[in-house]
Amino acid sequence: MANDASAVSDTRSPHSLADPFSPPADSALWRKNFLVGAATASYQIEGAVDEDGRLPSIWDTFSTTPGKVLAGDTGAVACDHYHRWEADVDMLVSLGLEGYRLSIAWPRVMDAAGLPNRKGLDFYKRLLNRLKEKGITTFVTLYHWDLPQHLEDRGGWLNRDTAYRFADYADLMSRELAGTVDAWATLNEPWCSAFLGYGNGHHAPGLADVGFATQAMHHLLLAHGLAMPVLRTNDPASQKGIVANIGRGTPNSDSTADRRAAHLFEVQHNAWILDPLLKGAYPRDLFELWPGTEPLMLDGDMQTVSAPLDFLGINYYFRTNVSSDGAHGFRDVPLEGVERTQMGWEVFPDGLRDLLTGFKSTYHNLPPIYITENGMASDDKVIDGHVDDTQRISFLKRHLAAVDQAIKAGVEIRGYFLWSLMDNFEWAFGYERRFGVVHVDYSTQKRTVKRSAELVAKFLKERKARV
């Protein structure tokens, strides 16, 4: 299809632009060097799943399995970004966004023998070159969950060999794309890949065994560690890091048992990933929670995993209120009367601030941080050409305030990426849940800028005028 810029509908009205959004005058977010951008992921937006030599991924398989994804949705077309990328870049630029975080589809760029697929590589080269021409800072994630199905057929992340294949993939991409990428992230949210993919079956490949999850996590983190020196050799001017999703756990009461439960929640959600990266060891409490699930590893693995990071990407969405399960774990206790998003997640900005300041105290080698995802889903509709996403505007303003508070408490945070640039395939929830600051009509592929994006653009224009 043609890359038709007219598919973008500019809804910025004088009334909308008058609404409050900008941070207070003393906010660190006004700094010129604080990067503000938006993020996407390959399977969620690209479509074109069987074009130009792209191989099947685990999400192609999972989403076409009956009962796995809401309404039977798949990423076969998604936002058709593979064909509309030029107009999407123009839209990003029109909003004044300074950074763009995207991911590469591993099955699009390598064949089953590990050889490069030139048509797939050329797509990303064109995209990244255009972004650089437009002055956009580029953050590229190598793995945002779309593992090639042929690797899953050989065991996926339960197979140690997948970590070495990932290093080969990182080698190819960093050689081919060197100079067009400002920051490389090896993995996006290994907690989701390991636990949702192998621990409870909610995500691809759909396995459900906690012992599988801990082994998959080890191989994911090993893959990260093996890729880091490759990236440093091939593209020395870029930053290198990893992206982790974090969760705030709070106790349902002040009892010792409930406070322990909240601690264990954060151990399995946060320390399971951050301790190996920043301390070189898994947290012992993890195996109190999940006894007998210690992963198999080789001597030297943890030294590989804990290679120094240039940055740590942090994704945050909600908190979980928990109580003791009466044994050695925790159970969710949803609070009543709290604000929630379309996902059912509680809106809790203080959790982001508290986790960030806590990490600064816990990890003395904490690298600079980028908030690589933050946002919310709402049931957005276009009415008279406009999308008035009031809850998202409030959500973003409060979470940016939490980021500012963490910066003022001494946490080095260098930027913030909205999740997401546009509505897209929301994994097991299909197309029902809308996270974008740009609305997508999936039947026509028309993009409509939401009011939240208008106000972010207004803030960025004001900030640019100040400096």
Q: CA–CA distance from 193 to each of 8, 79, 94, 214, 220 (Å)?
A: 33, 23, 34, 11, 8
What would the DSSP string read from start to end of 234-259? H-TTSEEEEEEEEEEEEESSSSHHHH
Q: Are 250 and 257 in contact (CB under 8 A)?
A: no
Alpha-carbon distance 295 to 272, whole Å? 12
The helix (H) or strand (E) run that includes residue 93 is: helix 81-94
- Given a contact cutoff of 8 angstroms between Cβ atoms, the answer to whether 157 and 216 are in contact is yes
CA dihedral (232, 224, 312, 427) positive or negative: positive
- Which residue is catalytic, options 152, 189, 266, 373? 373
458 three-state secondary structure = helix
Beta partners for 283?
none
Contact 143, 187 (CB under 8 A): yes
Nearest residue to 23 via CA among 353, 465, 347, 462:
462
Contact yes or no for 176/221 (Cβ under 8 A): no
Q: If you compute the radius of gyration of the chain from its CA atoms, what whole number of angstroms results?
A: 21
Token readout for 200 is 């409870």
* Distance, first Cα to last Cα, the chain: 40
Q: Please report which helix (H) or strand (E) contains residue 181, including its range.
A: none
**Exposed (0-12), middle (13-18) or buried (19+): which is 464, by Cβ within 10 Å?**
exposed
Known catalytic residue: 373?
yes
- CB of 322 within 8 A of CB of 265? yes
Q: With helix as H, strand as E and coil as C, how does 440-455 read?
A: EECCCCEEEECHHHHH
Q: Is 201 helix (H, G, I), strand (E, B) or coil?
A: coil
Nearest residue to 287 via CA among 247, 246, 329: 329
DSSP symbols for 176-193: HSTTS-SEEEEEE-HHII
Whole-Å CA distances, 93 to 140, 182, 467: 18, 17, 19
**Euclidean distance between CA atoms 414 and 138, whole angstroms:** 14
* Closest-CA residue to 14 (of 455, 363, 461, 460): 455
Kindly list the catalytic residues: 373
